[in-house]
Amino acid sequence: MGYIANLYPNYRIMSYRQIFYQIVFGTKDREPTIVDQHSEELYKYTWGVIKNLNCKLYRINGVEDHIHIFSDLHPSLSLADFVKNIKVASSKWMKESGKFPNFRAWQESYGAFTYSVREKDMIINYIKNQKEHHKSENFRDEYKHLLLDHEIEFDEKYLL
């Protein structure tokens, strides 16, 4: 802001954004290591990480082998750094807490899908109902549908 402030002393810089992402990532090798009994604690911890990154969490949920995060993204962050911060912090917490004894790591990759404000409630409800949804569809099929719905090209052998 220094350069602009020097040129235009009465100029105020205002940044507005509306960047909604659904971020999906799984446990290493899709192992069912997210213990349901402690998943809410994991989600609360992750919410704190997201808040500390100046982003707003709208919904987080998942099942034993993956999680979904629906949040905005602060313009000062890259998507890759955002996800990396979440994965590193939550992985460390999960291991140190002792509440997820079989958790080894998150998978290296992730999916990130953008949405408009008009789709916000639909995505929140979708994430809210993950446990019910996964009674009829596994993670791989769900992820494949997300890629297809967003017209993202992929190679089957590299799916999560």
Tell me whether residue 7 is in a domain: no
CA gap 155, 147 in Å, rounded: 11
Tell me whether residue 11 is in a domain: no
Residue 69, token pair as written in the block: 């995060």
**What pLDDT does 155 receive?**
87
Tell me whether residue 82 is in a domain: yes
**What pLDDT does 159 receive?**
73
Parts of the chain with a pLDDT under 70: 1-15, 160
**What pLDDT does 112 receive?**
96
Tell me whether residue 8 is in a domain: no
In this prediction the pTM is: 0.87
CB contact at 8 A, 90 and 36? no
Residue range of the domain that includes 95: 18-158
Backbone CA torsion sign across 82, 76, 47, 154: negative
Residue 109 maps to which CATH number? Answer: 3.30.70.1290
pLDDT (tens digit per residue) in 77-97:
999 999 999 999 999 999 999
Tell me whether residue 133 is in a domain: yes
Tell me whether residue 109 is in a domain: yes
Antiparallel, parallel or unpaired: β 66-72 and 20-26: antiparallel
**What pLDDT does 4 receive?**
55
Tell me whether residue 9 is in a domain: no
Number of domains in the chain: 1
3-state secondary structure of 21: strand
**What pLDDT does 36 receive?**
94
**What pLDDT does 98 receive?**
95
**What pLDDT does 133 receive?**
86
Tell me whether residue 25 is in a domain: yes
**What pLDDT does 6 receive?**
62
